[in-house]
Each structure stands twice: as C-alpha cells, then as structure tokens.
Structure 1
C-alpha cells in the first residue's frame, strides 16, 4: 500500500484520484502511472473490477469508495451511476467540462495536496453551471480527445494564469432547475413524478428539446446551439416538463398556436420542426422516453393522420382526426360541401365558403356527417319515398320532424338541404311502432291524410299525436304503404285537438297549449304588435252570459302564426345543432326573440330572419 494515504475528495472522479495518486507518489503523469502499474486506462474510466481491486490495495481505500467516483458501463452504449441508467450521450467522455474557479481553489487546498480535482458531476451533459461559484463552466471537446478520454484536469484545462484571465469573462448565473434536478436525482433524491417515471436522460433531453423549440423556434439546428443556448433551453423546457403531461401538452399547444399565427399550412413536421424530426427519424429506433407518447397523442388529437401510418415509431391503429381534404378523399364528397356542412353544424369554426386546409375535426363526427350527406334524399323525392303528398312532406321537414342535414340561411338548396335517409326510416319506424298491426282497417279508422280532412285538423299535428302516444286507437297496415299505413280515428283526433273548442273557436287555454306558450304569453301576443304594426295573433271577442268578454282563436290564424314564427328548439333541430349554439348564432347576427322568454315560457323567432 502506498503511504501516506492520499484521501479521495467528495464527488471526485476515479480518473482524477488515480492521476493525483500517481503524481503524489511517483511524480509521473496519469497515463505514465497507469502504464507503470499495468492498469488499462478504460478500466479506470469505467471502474472495472480489476481496476477497483488493484487501486484499493494500493491506496488503502475501500472499493466502494473508489467505485463512487465512476460511471459504470452497462453494455450496448448504456451506462450506470447509482440507481440510474442512461445512454452514453448523457455522460460525455469526449468532452472536458470544468469550473476555472474550482481548479484555482484546488491549488490552495491542503486536502488536494495542491492538485486539481475533476468532479464527477462535471461529466453529465446537463452540468453547465458551477453550483459553488455561480458561473458558466467551460466545456472543451478537443481537450478530452487529446488524452484519449482520460479527463485529468492538469492536462485538459489551461494553466492557472490563463484560467485567472478567463474567469472574469464567464457569465454569472444560478444553476438551472434542470441541472439541479439531474444532480439531485443522481444522488438519490425524488423529483417531479413524470420525469422520475422515465430514464433520466430521456427527461433531460425532452426538456432541452422542448425548450429549444420555444426559445429558438422549431426549425432550430441542434449543432448550431452553444452550451449557453442549451442551458437556457433546459431552463425553459424544464418549466413545462416538471409539470408532467399537463405541462408538456401546454408547451405543444403553444408551439402549435405560434405556427397557426404564421398563416402557413403544414402537418406535424412543419408545426413541430426539429422536435418532430428528433422523434420521427431517430437512428436505430432509439427510444426517446415518455415525451414520445405525449407528442404522438397530441398529433393524433390535432392532425389528420390515417390509420397504418408509422408515427414516431409506432403504426397508427385508428384515425382520430380528419381534415377537409382527407374526408373528401375518403368519401368522394366535394371539399366545399363538407366545409359548409361542418361549419354550419358547429363541428368546425370559420367561413362556410372558405376551406381552411389547416383545420381538423373529430374523425367519427366528420364521417357520420359525411355518411348522412351521402345517404340522403332531396325534399322533392321525399313524397314518393314516404308515400304522402308534397304538402305533408314539406310540413314534416319545415317543422323539423324530418330534419335536414343542415339548416342553411336563405333558400334551401344543394345536398345540405337533403334529409338523411336514416332519419326518414327512423320516422317511419317510430310512426308505425305506435300502432297495432291489422289486416284491414277497423270501424271508422282512416289513414292520416284522410283523417286530417275528416277531423279538419292538420296532418302534421296528427303525426305528432301518434308519435307522442296520445291516441288510444292507432292501427298499422302493411309496411309497403309507408306513411299511409298508419290509421287513426278522426273522431278521437277531433276530441283530442278540439276538446275545448266552441263554435267561436279555441279558448285561450287550448290555443296557448297548441302554440306551446303560457296563457299569459298568449295575452302578450294578442296585445303587442310585430314589425308590420299588427298584433302577433288576432282573436275573436265573445261575451258570456254575464257580459264579460272572452277571447277565442281561429285555428287558421294559429296555423298562420306557426307559419311565421318558430320555437328555438325547433329551429335548432332543423339546423342539426343544439339550442344553445343556435341561440348564440342568432344573437351574433343581431336576431332577437319576438318576446322575452319569461313572458312566453319559450323563445320564438321570426322564420323570415333565420
């Protein structure tokens, strides 16, 4: 054993300690000393068992103490330190990193015997600031190459006189949160859960790549960034990665928003640039950690990526988003037709007449809407398909019982004014399901068209009674008769609809129910005028035996009112959107209800304005 025993400094590398032992006991350089004791240089660098055993015998220090100053090899370009494992790029052996202030202080430190000390934490790529002196450290690739990777600070760093001149020029700063996290984790401390849940170099690199995109733009060149640039990038990126999935998602959204502000068009590679290329085109399919899954999910949730495409190393199982172009190509529908339908129904925002190639939307929602368009029927074909006349078909569509694909402003034309066949078939199914199958009509039973004439009541209202289950007697003949297969009793219809009708007309309670408003709301409509200067609804005055005036209403005037005004819920149903969205859309165009909601207990609008 060499005496006196030279102590190993806390945090010192085995390379540094071996070099100091050689100089102290033999006055030889580290490489000459290794040759003298017949130890391989690489064995000392990686802390091989033979090197630890030999040096322990010579220095009197336990093998465990010596091993603490090494980064061990785990094979296949993998290394370990403590409980952590990482790729070789994370522990840089082709570069010398040092703090000039630390090396100058070593000269006057009795514990070091005046020799420079190489610190273990200087070997990690994220170490760029000296925590003791608060200055940027120097990183010299060429210095390490000149000594074959054996980082002896006496050799790789400049003479003391030069270090003293360099020291005042170095930037002063605090240790970055990323560097602090890496150091503490290497020493066994816990950190943010998302980062701790993956290999240490994965989280560090993800932080730096995200930060670089945010600081220098997504088209930054990694080999063009200085160590100070990477330090700044790590600070920025760690602020997001330390918050896990939520933070990373926020960073991706920010990058995406910045791209959209440029008004350029492009997919995920154009949006995320170097970040995307790093993940998509990695050599040897080397993993990149948890950020890979987060970026992949973000892309699938915001961009049109078809099933089967390999995205960030993994084949896409199911498409999540469509663009106008991809849905048009898949369905054969014109892009402008799809764009108009998606915007009018609220799936997309934008101009119905301008296709935005950068927009995407939920794939299933878009495919369902496209399917409704492709499998639809025009209103002119509807009477033949239903087996009714044109007026009845138009009433069913106008009232929303049979909703159009979308409700367009102005005249209804084109494919979007069609009615989905699924809606028509469902209507017929529900209408027939309300009755009892029979081979021949029962006594007094008529089809809805004939019953409408006999009861002197609109066929549309009879349809609603049937669908609501309000009629006790409903029969159905063969399905081939379609609309005319449903039979009702006109006497029951008359009793249901005109229960409170007199020779003078419907009383106020019955009229209010028919219009779907409160009786006080009907009073408002009687007493107030519309834009034409006439009351919303005229009434028939009559006096009872006590001489008090009673109001009655002509069914034709009530029907006329329904032709001019529409409930919000019915307008929304016809448009294929929610009542809330319909109300917002009308309000944005300055269209207001004809009366306060609390007055009518309903929101009604002029059909001419919708």
Structure 2
C-alpha cells in the first residue's frame, strides 16, 4: 500500500478487500516474491534510521505485536526477521520484531559515518577502495556491509569531533552531556580536556560504545506507560546524578531498561523508576515487591506471580512493609534465585540462550512443550527451565549434526 498511499493505515473498511488481494497476489508466489516486495518498500522515501514502523507501517506492528501469539503468522515473521537481518544496519538498542538487538552485525555507510565522525561521501570512497561496498549502488542509508569485516578500516579512518557534535551524535542535550561528562561516564579521547567544549578531542565511536552498554537487553517501548521515566527524570526524582543509574545498568544491577520508539540515542533511554528506586535507595534492600519482581522477569500480570506463590510453586518472604506497616510478601534474593532456577519466562529464556522470544516459543511449541499450568491454573507464559534447556540443547545438537 505504500506504493499507492503514504498512509496505509487510513484505508477504510470497505476497501480492505483490495488490501487483502494485494497481499495475496504477492504471497501466493512464494517466499522469494515476499522478499522482493519487502525490498521494494525499502526503495521508497525513508531509511532504516526512520525505523521499521515507517518502512513497514501496518505490517510491522501486526507481525511484531498484534499476532505475536498466533503461530499462523510464524512463516511471515521468519521472512521479515531474516530480511531485516540481511538488509538493515541494526545496532544495539534497535529492535527486531519487538525483540532488542544484542549485537551489531551490519553497518550502513550512514550508520558507520555517524559512528566514526567521517563525512558519508568520504567514507564511502574509503570503503569502496577497500572493496567493502560498491562506489555506486544503494543509497548510503541502505548500503550495508559486515561490521566486523570493516572494523579495522573504520578504526584507521577515525575522525575526532567536538563536544557539541559528540552530544548531538548520542542525541543528548548539552546539559545532559555535561552531567554525563561530570559523572565520569563519558570522557574525551585525548587526555587533555582543557577547552573540551570547543576542541575536537571526542571519539564518536566512544559514544556508540556508551549507548551499546546501556541498551543491552532493552525493552522496546511503543509508549512510556506508567512507571517508565527517562533516565534524566528518574535521576532528578531521586536527587542523584544519571551517572549513578548508568553504572548500575552497566553492572546489570538495574535490568529493566526501555528503548522508546519515538526517539533515538540517549533520548530513548528509559528506566523503570520503581526498580531504580529499589536498587539505589539510601537504604538498599535486596527484597522486591511481587509486583516489581513480576515486571522485572517479564510476567505482565503480578496476580499470576501471587498465584504462583500462594500455590507453593515458588517461595516468597513475608515482611513488614516499611511504610504501610502491614505484613506483605516480598521476593528476596534467595527467592528470586529459586524462581529462576526452576522457571523461565519468555524474557529470561531469551536472555539465557541469546535467541529471540518468538523463535524460542515457536521451537517449544513445535516440540510439544506446554506452559506451566498444573491443575489448569493460569500462570501465563511460564515454562519449567529443565524442559526448555532440554529442548534447546537437542535442537542445537540436531543443527550441528545436519
């Protein structure tokens, strides 16, 4: 529909038959035709930096979110995932069908230019001279290449930039940049920092590494719902510097990180304030409320976690609430360890095995592994860890044999 209108989502109900027919005429020709159609959409105005929701508006949300639990769409999800992995310069902090990207595989000329501070035209000539990209071909935003293969070339071509340009590169305001610099989480490439505000002593690659370090495992946020705060606001509420939160993120003490879809770079870095407050409280405690622990491990409805505790499937510790002075159940560090040793949620098993939630749940479904539901109780998408590890190990061994 993007070939016909810039607003596919505005199609009226009475014209939906036309949309369905267009999709059918492509899909009936097989996977190659679907991939050609996806590639054709990438030839329209817009680049990967605009995000998949602009390039594949309705299609992306339908596959990434709306039909995520419907196995009828698995083949289409697989095709779109594979296509994006082969043609998009996805980096840490980006998302792939609702899942955070853990490692950059491809750079585009545009993304590499941003990471090195080199003019795009000059960088393309350098890469072309090394045989990494053609001199002419796809636009810089879509001309991708193997990031590891080009690593040495990019390092050799490094250009230092000013603090102002560095702040813009990570999409932080000048006041936010100054706080990060003062807190020691950002430092200039050259040892002499006198006049760092005007001199080109900053390495843009350091900015990329900084963003990678705080976005690992980030949850894609379509909108900042209740509890999510930009890191700057969360720090201000606790009257601490953002560097304290950042160090806790890098040390994996704070794990519930959000990547806001409407922003880029540092502006997209959101944290779940209750977790930040719990971890960085002046009187820190390893105990978490059931609600906070549920959200941390990816159980969307805390009532399911409470049901799990009440029915004796996982331990909890009864304590006096420090403010309400009533006795409530909390999850201690030992309780959390016991839960994680017995169970996986889609989030925790994806983190443990380095695979997407969708691919893992599809593998489990194909192997006949059902969610944990003794006596028909609803605990949500919860799996016994021993079942998941066994199936994933068998699948990996079969792939090696093949």
Which category describes the TM-score, using the shorter chain as reference length? Answer: 0.3 to 0.5
With normalisation by structure 2, the TM-score equals 0.33
With normalisation by structure 1, the TM-score equals 0.24
